[in-house]
Amino acid sequence: MTSESVQPKSGPSRRTIVAAAGAAGLTVALTACGSEDKASDSSTEQGGGATNDGGGASTGAGAGGAALAKTSDIPEGSGKIFKDEKVVVSQPTAGDYKAFSTICTHRDCPMVDLKDDIISCTCHGSRFSVLDGSVKKGPAVEPLEAKKISVNGDSITLA
Ligand code: FES
């Protein structure tokens, strides 16, 4: 008699080490900064038909609900701040008007200090040109956000 013991083949016990990763995957938080207007192309011209009132053409334009300013309010080579709208409107050259946000691009401080063509941030000392929005002094590195305006006659409105 032969006694055979049939042994079922049982594979070597495998140990599976389950590494539980605590941090499952990377979570990429996209923070939308809202600064979409990086286009600095000069396509925001207000048309060449802007008649430059040579002087004395101060008609009493009282009506104009959404008007931000009159063209005569904006000094050439400088600008004017509109605190409520958080906008500075400038006139780099005669009859050419630009507008920029007065919110500092460094840490979002509102700026109200304008001398000549420079708007300054009192938070950390950045300075910007109101003629083109460029940074003149850091720590800010991004230019001011351009705002669209429209000029109709002697009235400037935010577009
Ligand atoms: S927030 Fe304007 S310089 Fe820092």
Residue 37 is assigned to a structural domain of this protein:
no
Residue 35 is assigned to a structural domain of this protein:
no
For residues 44, 49, 53, 54, the Cα torsion angle rounded to the nearest 10 degrees is 110
Ligand 1 centroid from CA 87, angstroms: 16
Peptide bond into 139 cis (omega under 30): yes
Does 121 sit in the ligand 1 pocket, CB within 6 Å?
A: yes
Residue 24 pLDDT: 36
Residue 152 pLDDT: 93
Residue 42 is assigned to a structural domain of this protein:
no
Residue 60 is assigned to a structural domain of this protein:
no
Does 126 sit in the ligand 1 pocket, CB within 6 Å?
A: yes
Residue 51 pLDDT: 40
Residue 11 pLDDT: 44
Q: Which of 86, 101, 104, 127 to mutate to test the pocket of ligand 1 (most atoms within 8 A of CB)?
A: 104
Residue 27 pLDDT: 35
Number of domain units in the chain = 1
pLDDT tens for the chain, 159 residues long, are: 444 444 444 444 444 333 333 333 333 333 333 444 444 444 444 443 444 443 333 333 333 447 899 999 999 999 999 999 999 999 999 999 999 999 999 999 999 999 999 999 999 999 999 999 999 999 999 999 999 999 999 999 998
Does 103 sit in the ligand 1 pocket, CB within 6 Å?
A: no
- Based on its alpha-carbon atoms, the radius of gyration of the chain, rounded to whole angstroms, reads 31
For the residues of the chain, what is the DSSP string, one character each?
----------PPPP-------SS-S----------------S-----TT-----SS--------TTEEEEGGGS-BTSEEEETTTTEEEEEEETTEEEEEE-B-TTT--B--EEETTEEE-TTT--EEETTT--EEESS--SPPPEE-EEEETTEEEE-
Start-to-end CA distance of the chain, whole Å, equals 105
How far apart CA 126 and CA 124 sit, in angstroms, is: 6
Contact indicator for 45, 133 with CB cutoff of 8 Å? no
Distance, C-alpha 66 to centroid of its chain: 22
Domain of 107 in residue numbering reads as 67-158
pTM value is 0.61
Residue 5 pLDDT: 45
**Ligand 1 atom 3 nearest Cα:** 124
71: domain CATH number is 2.102.10.10
Residue 147 is assigned to a structural domain of this protein:
yes
Ligand 1 centroid from CA 58, angstroms: 38
How far apart CA 73 and CA 111 sit, in angstroms, is: 19
Residue 84 is assigned to a structural domain of this protein:
yes
